[in-house]
Amino acid sequence: MTADGHLFVVNGRLEALSADAVVIPTDADFRVEQWWRAAAGLEPGTPWSQVEPAGWGHGAALPARTSRRATKNRPEVWFLDTIATTPEGVGDAARRAVAAIVEHSGDRIRAAAETAGRDLPLVALPIIGTGYGGHRLRRGQVISALLATLHDSARELGVDVALVASNRADYSALQHRRRMLARPTGLAADVIARAQALGTHAARGDLALFFGAGVSIAAGLPSWGRLLTELVAKLELDDDVRERMEDLGPLEQAELIQVALADRSARAKSDTQKALGDRVSRIIRAASARPSLSHALLAGMRVRQAATTNYDRLYEQAVTAAGGPTDGRPAVIDRLPWDRASTERPWLLKMHGDVEHPDSIVLSRSSFVHYDNRWKPVGSLVQSLMMTKHLLVVGASMTDDNLLRFAYEVAGLRASITTHDPAAPEIGTVLHLADDAAFSRLWKGRFDVVVPTLDADQRDAAPTPDPTESDDARRLREAAERRRAARALTVMLDVVAMHAEREAPHLLDARYVDERSKEAAPLVAELRRLAKSARAIGADDAWTQLADSLDQFGAGSTDR
């Protein structure tokens, strides 16, 4: 039995999201705008006619002529004639696209999803019909139609759908509307309540993020174990060394790889660490990954402070794709410790180094032992997040030696100097994939451990263990269970992101004129006029601040 699909809402761009299929809007004459070239994977100079599907015409929803998933980590590309006379017709066109993808490519995208570690295929499409589709000034009605049809399509067809909003006003309108509609998410009631609470933390600016390899594995990057396996394979070590590796822990394996590099090249210790970092960097770059759905959902929360043990730059790409405070401008994120943090920009602390700085990569036992000699200020910054914010931990196994030490030191300090409810978490929330009573007990009083679980109907669709199953069948079932747990976590992040969005840049946006009630329309017009007048005064910075404040609600937007 196939699980119900889920409709995700993402602030970003199609080309900055790992998906199994993407939908690009066009018309019956196959006129495609140039800004979709990156999403379609077109090389410079390649004309659109080269990928025009055979039999293209009115109402078509067809795959690109050359789309065969030949490129690693790249989705199938589909085109859709989005021209419709009504907003409801736009919603029907979106439904038609998803249904066509499932009918034509269902087996292929399900296999691709399984390879990528996704429980269900992910189909991504933009806010269609609001550009040259003719409904620019009926955006509210189009968004309502898309939410309704895609929610139903995802559940009926058993695929996940990501509705990708490239500007902040559309994203805000989508999230506000979703909260009002309160449609089923497939999550258990207590998990939804936890997600709402985390979203409230984010909306208040009280949330910081810590994420680990689990977020990037979903994008196609190797786990720590697979990274070490690839390093060993590329080194061509002796058989006896390879056999010995299997008996060592991950840090010791990395240390042995580093020693082997030193023996082979007679390099100085510092040069050997850089050589190891260079090899790690090459493996990560070769993956050609796009940000995962989790990256995109975390980026949409607009959390200003985050830390990670990951070396890649996928979260930064997702933040950039989500855009800055002004539509059309990419967001800028500071990358610590290399950049100086700004009060105007979010920042990400790369706790174990960065792929573009190979000498900074922390992987081996010796680099962990000597961490404080070089990275002590980094550890202090992680601990400051633990002291001042509610820390949401995603995709981390909580076995990292440095993170464990930081958390225990913070929890120990606070326990020694404060008297408060002992049941209250000291540091934050860990989203954990497995229902592990020992793990929860281990972190009690330090972290609130939440296991995203599905509601009863969704759980009934999960495979059940068979006492007579073979080892191969057991491994397949356990892999399916891991994918299912990872998907439940992603759905929970979607609910967190929905409740984290409290800005309302669509409220005074000229493109949302159809959203105005008779009572609100005159007020919107007056506030837009006042914003323009305040900015025109210009002699006093206070008037500019007033105009800027109104612009945060869309007062400065045009109807384009």
For domain 207-218+289-456, give the fold. Rossmann fold (3.40.50)
pLDDT of the residue at 68: 47
pLDDT digits (tens, 9 = 90+) for 268-289: 455 666 778 888 899 898 887 8
Q: Which CATH architecture does the domain made up of 7-184 adopt?
A: 3-Layer(aba) Sandwich (3.40)
Check for a shared fold between 7-184 and 207-218+289-456: no
DSSP state of 507: T
461 vs 451: which has the higher pLDDT = 451
Instruction: Tell me the C-alpha distance between 430 and 398, whole Å.
Output: 9
307 Cβ neighbours under 8 A, 6+ residues apart: 208, 209, 210, 348, 349, 351, 381, 382, 385
* The pLDDT of residue 125: 96
- Give ∠ CA 218-222-224 in degrees, rounded to 5: 115
Q: Would you place residue 556 in the very low, low, confident or very high pLDDT band (cuts 50, 70, 90)? A: confident
Residue 552 is predicted with a pLDDT of 87
Q: What is the pLDDT of residue 480?
A: 85
CA atoms of 158 and 464, how far apart (whole Å): 19
Residue with tokens 């296999």: 111
| Domain spans of the chain, in order of start | 7-184, 207-218+289-456, 224-286, 510-551
Kindly report the backbone phi and psi dihedral angles of residue 28, in degrees, each rounded to the nearest multiple of 5, phi listed first. -65, -20
- Using a cut of 0.85, tell me whether the model's pTM lies above it: yes
pLDDT tens-digit map of 13-32: 999 999 999 999 999 999 99
Q: In what order do the strands lie in the sheet with 21-26?
A: 7-11, 160-165, 122-126, 21-26, 76-81, 61-63
Quick one: average pLDDT of 80-84? Answer: 94
pLDDT tens per residue, range 540-549: 788 888 888 9
Asked if residue 113 has pLDDT above 50, the reply is yes
Contact 115, 160 (CB under 8 A): no
- The owner of tokens 């009573």 is 437
- pLDDT at position 308: 95
Q: What is the pLDDT of residue 70?
A: 46
Q: How does strand 61-63 pair with strand 76-81?
A: antiparallel
Q: Average pLDDT, stretch 102-114? A: 93
- Are 208 and 391 in contact by the 8 Å Cβ rule? The answer is yes
N-term to C-term CA, the chain: 45
pLDDT at 367: 82
The residue that leads in pLDDT, 195 or 69, is 195
Local confidence band at 261 (pLDDT 50, 70, 90 cut-offs): confident
Distances (CA, A) of 248 to 228, 273, 397, 401: 12, 19, 18, 16
Checking if the pLDDT of 104 tops 60, the result is: yes
More confident residue, 415 or 221: 221
Q: Could you report the per-residue pLDDT of 367-411, keeping only the tens digit for each?
A: 887 777 778 888 899 999 999 999 999 998 888 878 888 888 888
Q: How far is CA 322 from CA 160, 298, 373, 517, in A?
A: 20, 10, 36, 30
Other Cβ atoms less than 10 A from the Cβ of 354: the count is 23
* Average pLDDT of the residues of the chain: 86
- pLDDT tens for 431-458 read 998 888 888 888 888 899 999 988 765 5
Kindly tell me if the per-residue pLDDT of 249 is higher than 90.
no
